């Protein structure tokens, strides 16, 4: 898959948090881990990764962080509960929840943010989604 630089806007359900993503995304995926499933209430969760310098939070009034583990934090809107970002403390990159992009359902969504792999499949909820997701390579 070829990477394409992006300039995208996104935010939470209520509009309390707005952000802009610019740069070269990588690692777009479907995450099946238990932590993402519980944090988002769905499995899988779609993510893509970008350098921390590529994320600009435009409205931070209701942006809150919570330790997801000793190594990572999750950012969410304290008003509507939308989960937005996942940051590993040791890395200079941040994961963006693809579904929070304004154009997530657009035919013009850049290929750089479209999931190309499944991760943490050992936690996949097979009973919830028996054959809905085709395996992507």
pLDDT at residue number 68: 84
Q: Give per-residue pLDDT as tens, 15-53.
A: 999 999 999 998 887 877 677 776 766 777 788 989 999
Residues of the chain with pLDDT under 70: 1-3, 33, 38, 40-41, 119, 121-137
pLDDT at 20: 96
Is position 49 within any domain? yes
Q: In terms of residue numbers, what domain contains 111? A: 6-123
28 belongs to a structural domain: yes
* Total number of domains constituting the chain: 1
> How many Å apart are CA 8 and CA 131, to the nearest integer?
31
Confidence (pTM):
0.81
User: How high is the pLDDT of residue 124?
Assistant: 64
Q: Is residue 128 in a domain?
A: no
CATH code for the domain in which residue 17 is found? 2.170.150.70
Question: Can you spell out the DSSP letters for 93-134?
Answer: EEEEEGGGBTTTT-TT--GGGS---EE-GGG--TTTSSSSSP
* 132 within domain boundaries: no
> Per the domain annotation, does 129 fall within a domain?
no
86 falls within a domain: yes
Q: Token pair for residue 92?
A: 């200079």
* pLDDT at residue 52 in the model: 94
């Amino acid at each position: 898959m070829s990477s394409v630089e992006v300039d995208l806007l996104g935010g939470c359900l209520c509009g309390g948090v707005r952000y802009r993503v610019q740069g070269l995304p990588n690692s777009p995926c479907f995450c099946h881990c238990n932590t993402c499933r519980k944090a988002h209430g769905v499995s899988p969760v779609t993510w893509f990764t970008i350098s921390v310098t590529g994320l600009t939070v435009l409205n931070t009034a209701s942006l809150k962080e919570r330790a997801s583990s000793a190594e990572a934090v999750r950012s969410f809107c304290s008003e509507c509960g939308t989960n937005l970002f996942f940051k590993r403390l040791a890395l200079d990159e941040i994961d963006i929840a693809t579904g929070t992009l304004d154009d997530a359902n657009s035919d013009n969504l850049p290929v750089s943010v479209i999931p190309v792999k499944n991760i943490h499949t050992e936690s996949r909820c097979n009973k919830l989604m028996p054959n809905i997701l085709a395996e992507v390579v």
